[in-house]
Structure 1
Amino acid sequence: MTTIRLLAMPGSARRESLNRRLLKILVRGAEQAGATVTVYEPRDNEMPLYDGDLEAAEGIPAAAARLQRLFSEHHGLLLATPEYNGFFPPLVKNTFDWLSRPIPDGSGKPGTIHVRGKPAGMVAASPGALGGMRSLQHCRQYLSNLGFLVVPDQVGVPKADSAFDAEGELVDARVRASVEGVGASVARLAAKLATGG
C-alpha cells in the first residue's frame, strides 16, 4: 500500500499569518483522509528574487534544489495563500518560479517534472470581504501552468481576522469542514493517481 505524502506550504512568511492558521486545518483534512503531510517552511528556505544572471553565475539556490527534491518525494501540494492587491503574493510566485528552473543534475530537465500531474489544493484567508478568492483564481491558473492538477474545491475565508478562535480554530464549523474537505480531496486524488485508479 502506497503512503500518500503531501507537501504543505504557507504563502506567507509571517509567523502569525492567518493563512498559517488556515494551513493547519487544510493539513488536518488531508491527514484525516490518510495522507502524511510535510510542512515546507519558506522562512527556513529563503530564496533570492529570481534573476537569470544570478542563475547563470551560480545555478539555482540550494533552497530551490531542496524544494525540487521534496516534490520528487511527495504526491501533491497543499497551499494556503494570502491575497495581495487581488493577486497571490510574490513569495509564492518566486518560490515556484525557482522550482521550475532546470534541476541541478546537468540534464536540463525543468523542476516541473516533479510536479506535473500531481494534485494541488488551495485555500485563502483575508481580512477583506472576498476572502482571498481573487488570489485563488490567479493561483489556480499559475499552478496549472506548472503542471499541477488543481482540485476543483477551494475555500476563501473572508473577514479572517475574526474567523479564528484563540486556539487558531475556525469558528464556523461549515467553513472548517470545507477547508478540511479541500485537503481530503487532494489526498484522495493523490491516492487514486498513485495506485493507477
Structure 2
Amino acid sequence: MHMAKKILVFAGSARTGSLNKCFAQLAAKRIEALGGEATFIDLKDYPCPLFDEDIEAQGMPENVVKLREMLAEHDGLVISSPEYNGFITPLLKNTLDWLSRPDDNTPGLALFAGKPAGLLGASPGGLGGIRAMAGVQQLMHNLNLVVIPPAMTLPGAGNAFDDNGAFKESAQAEQLDALCQRVIEAVNALR
C-alpha cells in the first residue's frame, strides 16, 4: 500500500501570535491546497528540556519521543525560523538537537537523512529574518536534510497577513506556493 508522502511543518517560536507560526500555518495550508499532505505542529505543545546528556542518560523526555515519532512518520519538513539577534532561536536549535540524538531504534541522524526541507523566515523588520538563514541552513545541512532553495524570507511580516492568515500581497503568495510546490515535488520524488 502506497502511503501519501507527508510534510511536517513548524516554527522556531512558541509565542502566541508569532509571525513565524502564522507563516508556518499558512505554508501547511498551501501544501494541502497544492495537493500535498502537511501536518502543522506548535512546539509550545511539546516543551522539551534544554538538551543535556545527563537528562538523555535517564531516557528520552516524553515530548522528545513524541516529536521523534512524528518526524519519523514524515518525508519532508518546512521550518519557519525567526531570528534572535541575527541567529537561530534557542527553541529551534534545542528541538533539532534533541531530534538528532540516537536512541534504541534509530541511529543519530537517521530521522533527518535525505529528507527535503523548505526554509522560511519572517520578521517585522526590513530584513525578514535573513540574517538567521545562513545559520539555519548550515544546521539543516549538518543534519543531512536536503534544503530546497531558495529560502523565503518575509520582511514587514507584522503587516503581511490578512485576518484569515493568508498573504495580502499576491507576489508573496506566489513565492510561498512556488517553494511549497518544490518541497512537494522533492518529497514525491523520494522512493
* TM-score of the superposed pair, with normalisation by structure 2: 0.93
Q: CA deviation at 1:19?
A: 1.0
Q: Where does 1:16-165 land on structure 2 (aligned, <5 Å)? A: 16-56=17-57, 58-105=58-105, 109-110=107-108, 112-165=109-162
Q: Which shows bigger deviation, 27-36 or 149-158? A: 27-36
AA aligned opposite 1:119 = P
The 8 Å contact of residues 72 and 114 in structure 1, kept in 2 or not, is answered as yes
Q: CA deviation at 1:184?
A: 1.6
Aligned counterparts of 1:70 and 1:103: Cα–Cα separation in 2: 15
Aligned counterparts of 2:63 and 2:9: Cα–Cα separation in 1: 16
Q: CA deviation at 1:2?
A: 4.3
Q: Name the SS for the 1:98 alignment partner.
A: helix
* Distance verdict in 2 for CA 1:75–1:12, change over 3 Å: same
- 1:144-182 CA-partner distances (Å, limit 9, x unpaired): 100100001211111111222222222111012111221
* Distance verdict in 2 for CA 1:45–1:149, change over 3 Å: same
Q: Which shows bigger deviation, 84-93 or 21-30? A: 21-30
Q: Name the SS for the 2:152 alignment partner.
A: strand
Q: CA deviation at 1:51?
A: 1.1
Q: Name the SS for the 1:141 alignment partner.
A: helix
Aligned counterparts of 2:183 and 2:51: Cα–Cα separation in 1: 29
The 8 Å contact of residues 19 and 125 in structure 1, kept in 2 or not, is answered as yes
Q: Percent identity?
A: 36
The 8 Å contact of residues 4 and 75 in structure 1, kept in 2 or not, is answered as yes
Q: Name the SS for the 2:177 alignment partner.
A: helix
- What does residue 189 of structure 2 align with? 192
Q: Name the SS for the 2:23 alignment partner.
A: helix
AA aligned opposite 2:74 = H
Aligned counterparts of 1:37 and 1:170: Cα–Cα separation in 2: 19
Name which of 154, 173, 177 aligns with 2:174.
177
The unaligned stretches of length 5 or more in structure 2 are none
